[in-house]
Amino acid sequence: MDPSELKKIQIAVDGYSACGKSTLAKGLAGRLGYIHIDSGAMYRAVTLFAIQENIIADGKINKNLLIRKLPEISIKFRLDNDNNPITYLNEVNVEDKIREIEVSDFVSEISAIPEVRHKMVAIQQKMGENKGIVMDGRDIGTVVFPDAELKIFLIADINVRTQRRYNELKSKGYDVDFEVVKENLMQRDKFDMSRSESPLRQADDAMVFDNSDITKEEQLEKAYKLALSIIENEN
């Protein structure tokens, strides 16, 4: 049975940094014929905007100025030739720039600003109104789509996660240190879990996947079978 011909559902994929949320969400969306949205890319785009507009200076964020400039921010996703969603900030392709360390250093603090989250969540919820969507992030199953039919929460060992992020950055030509990458991930975990606005936490009804020792393909197959069983039950 072709799942794309059945009643569609919302799928939320949450978890810690470098757990492969986007990889799983993208693969799952592809198998199901759904739309994939990387919500983290949206917060990274806001962070990049703040850097470009000198809203971040000397390691500090001018939150009031960012809030005033939020109406100037337009974030869109467009598919490339391989059907991958590409992030556009004010009509400019920023997919590579938003993955740089400078953005990673500030994205948690930017994403904790209530006004920023309210704007992003409103956009995300609008995207998911017609269902048939797989969205990954940190508060998708708890805040954005609390009624999602399937919620997945990813975890992995910190050293495994660090190696993944380190390899990703090195493959893009960045000169990075393993321990610096690890510290960045741990700091982001701490910040994400302790923020007052939409903290990172596992939804009560989420399925937990520990992917420390399984392949991307094994995880995708597990998620696909789970999603298919839920979709078939909805019809």
pLDDT at 19 over 70: yes
Residue type at position 57: A
- Two tokens at 135? 């969205």
pLDDT over 90, % of the chain? 78
- 3-class DSSP assignment, residue 67: helix
| pLDDT value at residue 108 | 87
Contact criterion met (CB below 8 Å) for 5 and 132: no
- Tell me the C-alpha distance between 96 and 10, whole Å: 27
| pLDDT value at residue 82 | 79
| pLDDT value at residue 162 | 97
pLDDT at 196 over 80: yes
pLDDT over 70, % of the chain? 98
pLDDT at 3 over 80: no
- Tell me the C-alpha distance between 120 and 222, whole Å: 30
C-alpha dihedral, 140 to 142 to 144 to 147, nearest 10°: 110
- pLDDT of 71-106, one tens digit each? 999 999 988 887 788 999 999 999 999 998 899 899
If one compares 174 and 205, the residue with the highest pLDDT of the two is 205
| Range from 147-161, 185-199, 221-235 carrying the lowest mean pLDDT | 185-199
Mean pLDDT, rounded, for 21-43: 93
State the chain's mean pLDDT as an integer.
Answer: 93
Mean pLDDT, rounded, for 57-66: 95
Query: Given the structure tokens 């893009």, which residue do they identify?
Result: 172
- Tell me the C-alpha distance between 107 and 212, whole Å: 25
Contact criterion met (CB below 8 Å) for 46 and 65: no
Backbone angles phi, psi at 89, to 5 degrees: -110, 115
Query: By CB neighbour count within 10 A (0-12 exposed, 13-18 middle, 19+ buried), where does 176 fall?
Result: middle
| pLDDT value at residue 192 | 87
| pLDDT value at residue 1 | 61
What is the fold, at CATH topology level, of the domain defined by 10-226?
Rossmann fold (3.40.50)
Query: Where would I find the H helices in 53-97?
Result: 63-69
- Tell me the C-alpha distance between 102 and 120, whole Å: 21
| 214: number of Cβ within 10 Å | 14
Residue type at position 62: N
Q: How far apart are the first and last CA of the chain?
A: 12
pLDDT at 158 over 70: yes
| pLDDT value at residue 54 | 96
- Two tokens at 36? 């994939």
Contact criterion met (CB below 8 Å) for 39 and 136: yes
| 19: number of Cβ within 10 Å | 25
Mean pLDDT, rounded, for 63-70: 97
- Two tokens at 34? 């759904």
Residue type at position 229: S
